Amino acid sequence: MPRFKMLLTASSLVAIFNAAALKAEEPVEIIVISATSSAQNWLQSPASVDISWPEQSGLLFDSAQLLQGIAGLQADSRANFAQDTRLSVRGFGSRSPFGIRGIYLQQDGIPLSAPDGQGQLASVLLDNVQSIEVLRGPLAVLYGNGAGAVISLRSRQYNQSELTTSVALSEQHQQQQLKLAVVGDKQSLQLAAKQFKTEGYRPHSRAAKDQLQLNWQRQLSDNLQLNLRYDWAYDPYLQDPLSLSPAQWRENPRQTIAAANLFDTEKTVKQHQTSISLTGDGSNPLQLALWQGERAINQRLAFPGSAITSAGGEVLLNRQYHGLKGQYQLALHNKVSAVIGGSAVQTDDRRFGFINDFGQRGALRRDEDNRASNLDGFIRLNYQASAAINWHGGWRYTDLAYQITDYFIQGDNPDDSGQRNYYQQAFAAGVNWQLTPHFAWFASAGKGFETPTLAELAYSAVGGGINLQLDASTNQQWETGVKWQNSQQRASFSLFNIATDNEIIAQRSDGGRTSFANASKTSRVGLEFQWHYQLSTQWRSELSGHILQAEFDDGPAAGKQLPGVAASEVNWQWHFTPLLTVPIHVTLQSHYRSKVFTNDNNSDAAPAAVHFSASINSQQRYQQWQFSQWLSLNNITDKHYVGAVVVNQANGRSFEPAAGREVAAGLSASYYW
């Protein structure tokens, strides 16, 4: 109760502050919200939504660089290219030992999340992302399995033809890029290619990544556009320096333990995807999308996996996936509109496991086919009750089927074949009341779900074998908040509560293999805030953060905090553009994160940390040419802090060190026609 009173008091203070500030008479800035599937400005949306437009310059190799500063989103960089960025929103996704789960990912309306709810951003060409939209709260559950939040990426759009080449260097990294755009009256073609290499921050952490994206758009009519996109990524080597124990981290956070070299821990990834979509606007907008792709992974873990009941210490995975989705918006009444749609998505995994004979492939220990098939149907409704009051709600039904076929049945190793079906529903409703042209109040409530992923079904904590007894978790949540916006400022404050049954938790993590279990009940209550202020033509400030109390309600860990979740986080950026003959833009950034517990019993935690960074960039235009230069300094004070934690790590190596101080610079040249 004390923490709840604290949140209510804070909510009241912010509401009073915002109401008192409504003296401005400037017009409202319109921001289109795509995650709600209707053209709503930010003030009219009954949800916590943020949109950011990343800088197009810099060394972008980690999605955490793009996602820092978004309220409620905890983006933990592992400084380890063999592991994806660790993302969580309001506690959703915090259990993930690899990849991203609990958060629905999409790019240009095409899912980046698999049917089982697991996704990754490591293969996305980050430099070609124009905008990022993050939808949080109850309305996010309408996007399906594991949609504790929605992260929607939009690829860069070009207004004129251009050719750009750029190079960037730091003490560890180097990258080269080439971008080509040919823009016509009815169609456009864009090509972006990037090569990245690094020596890594620690021994045995070298990495290389090659990426390419091809986009073609054709305007078929005034209201209909055809989009074709091809994505290709190849990571020939991603060495894994492994995590450290708290004692090892305190002794030397830049060290790499002997097991990384002994077993030559490394990952190789190849991925390609072709997607085609048809989008229409006008009075009855529609979207129809098809996609198909393949992802191949070869990874060596830090153990041999030689026992006959083991799945091996080297993983070989080939995933074939494809999907179809469509939605159509229609007007049911002059005040009521609806979006109806559905999707059918399938992944087929051919998975092998071999003994890791100290960096060499040994005998076979796993041979499986894993299939996940997902059928979804949904409806979302919007009711404009008056000029000031807007209602939004919806319902979604999901039929998810897993089929595991085991071909490796020898001696004491049993047949681990099996199947499991999950039939789930999600629904939510929200209201937005725009009290003045600049100030609005919103509230929403909903019920969502999250099924186990194929990886979470793979291992049982006791006796090995598959873990088909895992149930889907269900959550009930509500939020309320206020928004305020004028020509110079934009601010929001939201208060939320989430109660989860059968929370899926990481029960045990050992040597790269994690088993999962259902906890009985967990609860999360918190607040989020963001404030963007254009002080003048020269100064701009961006402040965001959250306070979150997430804990187990019953069981052995009752009253303990959920591991992997920071209780508080604050990001603050200052942008300065001095009035000089040569245009210069300076950015200063600070980031604070509270301590993060590493296990269910809260016996250890990564300490709280604050770190700083700065950058400066400049652009010059001469006729059809544009030249850009930039310089950045990350972790200015060379702070030793933990970038991310591995939850419930059995061997105690739960700390993943963050990068130290790093100077980087780059330049580019663009020709426009």
Q: What does the alpha-carbon distance between residue 547 and residue 294 come to, in Å, rounded to a whole number?
A: 40
From residue 476, how far is each of 249, 479, 506 by CA, in Å?
38, 11, 21
Show the domain range for 370. Answer: 2-298+309-672
Helix (H), strand (E) at residue 649: none
pLDDT band at 514 (very low <50, low <70, confident <90, very high): confident
Do 561 and 520 contact (CB within 8 A), yes or no? no
Kindly give the pairing relationship between strand 149-155 and strand 104-107. Answer: parallel
Among 44-58, 75-89, 325-339, 392-406, top mean pLDDT goes to 392-406
Q: Is 14 helix (H, G, I), strand (E, B) or coil?
A: helix
- pLDDT one-digit tens code per residue, 172-224: 999 999 999 999 999 999 999 999 999 999 999 999 999 999 999 999 998 89
pLDDT computed for residue 512 by the predictor: 53
Do 139 and 444 contact (CB within 8 A), yes or no? yes
Per-residue pLDDT averaged across 608-623, rounded?
95
Mean pLDDT of the chain: 89
Q: Is 93 helix (H, G, I), strand (E, B) or coil?
A: coil
Q: What does the alpha-carbon distance between residue 291 and residue 318 come to, in Å, rounded to a whole number?
A: 17
pLDDT band at 580 (very low <50, low <70, confident <90, very high): confident
- pLDDT one-digit tens code per residue, 386-404: 999 999 999 999 999 999 9
Q: What does the alpha-carbon distance between residue 231 and residue 417 come to, in Å, rounded to a whole number?
A: 34
Q: What does the alpha-carbon distance between residue 90 and residue 71 come to, in Å, rounded to a whole number?
A: 10
Among 526, 471, 476, smallest CA distance to 499 is for 476
pLDDT computed for residue 2 by the predictor: 42
The three-state (H, E, C) secondary structure of 30-90, written as one string? CCCCCCCCCCCCHHHCCCEEEEECCCCCCCCCCHHHHHCCCCCEEEECCCCCCCCCEEEEC
Residue 304 lies in a domain: no
The three-state (H, E, C) secondary structure of 212-275, written as one string? EEEEEEEEEECCEEEEEEEEEEEEEEEECCCCECHHHHHHCCCCCCHHHHHCCCEEEEEEEEEE
Among 286, 310, 299, 405, smallest CA distance to 363 is for 310
For the cut 50, the answer to whether the pLDDT of residue 563 exceeds it is yes
From residue 639, how far is each of 88, 203, 572, 592, 645 by CA, in Å?
23, 19, 17, 12, 17
User: The tokens of 577 are what?
Assistant: 């553009």
For the cut 70, the answer to whether the pLDDT of residue 56 exceeds it is no
Residue by residue, DSSP assigns 430-468 as EEEEEEETTEEEEEEEEEEEEPPPHHHHS--TTTSS--T
Do 666 and 611 contact (CB within 8 A), yes or no? no
Backbone angles phi, psi at 634, to 5 degrees: -100, 150
Q: What is the CATH number of the domain that holds 33?
A: 2.40.170.20
Helix (H), strand (E) at residue 555: none
Per-residue pLDDT averaged across 591-598, rounded?
96
pLDDT band at 24 (very low <50, low <70, confident <90, very high): very low
pLDDT computed for residue 654 by the predictor: 93
- pLDDT one-digit tens code per residue, 275-294: 999 998 877 788 999 999 99
Per-residue pLDDT averaged across 95-112, rounded?
88
Q: What does the alpha-carbon distance between residue 353 and residue 297 come to, in Å, rounded to a whole number?
A: 12
Helix (H), strand (E) at residue 376: strand 360-384
Among 288, 378, 345, 295, smallest CA distance to 115 is for 345
Q: What does the alpha-carbon distance between residue 540 and residue 25 come to, in Å, rounded to a whole number?
A: 20
Q: Per-residue b/e over 518-549, b at no fewer than 16 CB within 10 Å?
A: bbeebbbbbbbbbbbebeeeeebebbbbbbbb
Do 467 and 515 contact (CB within 8 A), yes or no? yes
Among 120, 93, 91, smallest CA distance to 107 is for 120
Backbone angles phi, psi at 344, to 5 degrees: -135, 120
Between 52 and 671, whose confidence is greater? Answer: 671
Among 247, 201, 249, 243, smallest CA distance to 659 is for 201
Domain total in the chain: 1
In eight-state DSSP terms, residue 23 is T
Do 85 and 543 contact (CB within 8 A), yes or no? no
For the cut 60, the answer to whether the pLDDT of residue 21 exceeds it is no
| CA angle centred on 144, ends 141 and 145, rounded to 5° | 105
Q: Is 15 helix (H, G, I), strand (E, B) or coil?
A: helix
Residue 303 lies in a domain: no
From residue 216, how far is each of 151, 164, 225, 270, 274 by CA, in Å?
23, 18, 10, 23, 12
The three-state (H, E, C) secondary structure of 112-168, written as one string? CECCCCCECCCCCCHHHEEEEEEEECHHHHHHCCCCCEEEEEEECCCCCCEEEEEEE
Do 38 and 339 contact (CB within 8 A), yes or no? yes
User: The tokens of 568 are what?
Assistant: 């508080």
pLDDT computed for residue 202 by the predictor: 96
pLDDT computed for residue 333 by the predictor: 84
Task: Point out the least confidently predicted range of 34-48, 240-254, 289-303.
Answer: 34-48
Per-residue pLDDT averaged across 636-655, rounded?
92
- Cα–chain center distance at 281: 28
| CA angle centred on 200, ends 610 and 107, rounded to 5° | 75
Residue 225 lies in a domain: yes
Which amino acid appears at position 323 of this protein? G
Do 123 and 231 contact (CB within 8 A), yes or no? yes
pLDDT computed for residue 592 by the predictor: 97
For the cut 80, the answer to whether the pLDDT of residue 355 exceeds it is yes
Do 403 and 374 contact (CB within 8 A), yes or no? no
